[in-house]
Amino acid sequence: MTTREKFDRLVDQLAEPSLKAGYARLLREREIDRQVRDSYERMPQLEGDGWADLREVHRASRQAVLKRVEEEEREAGFGPW
């Protein structure tokens, strides 16, 4: 066996674990990318999902708070503004 062949065999032995680890990392990254893509396909970002209307949530919350404050003021004997 020549020195070149010995060197090539040694490089192959040393590189194999790191190549396997790199390949495994690429497979994991590909799986994560696939999962992210699938989630966007299930729930597109620019379409309403029933929970995203923050204006309506804010309006309803504000009305509930104002109504509760008014009831507390009336119970305390204060008149309307």
Determine the average pLDDT of the residues in 14-43.
Answer: 83
47 found inside a domain: no
Domain that holds residue 6: 1-42
Calpha distance 30→45 (Å, rounded)? 21
Whether residues 11 and 32 share a domain: the answer is yes
Q: Taking the CA of residue 3 as centre, how many other CA atoms within 13 Å lie in the half-sphere pointing to its CB?
A: 0
Segment 58-81, tens digit of pLDDT: 888 999 999 999 999 999 888 776
Whole-prediction pTM value?
Answer: 0.38
The string of pLDDT tens digits covering residues 32-61 is 999 999 988 887 666 665 666 778 888 889
Asked if 6 and 37 sit in the same domain, the reply is yes
Residue 32 placed within a domain: yes
Q: According to DSSP H, which parts of the chain are helical?
A: 3-42, 54-75
Mapped onto helix, strand or coil, the DSSP state of residue 15 is helix
Q: Assess if residue 75 is contained within a domain.
A: yes
Residues 12 and 32 placed together within one structural domain of the fold: yes
Q: Are residues 35 and 66 in the same domain?
A: no
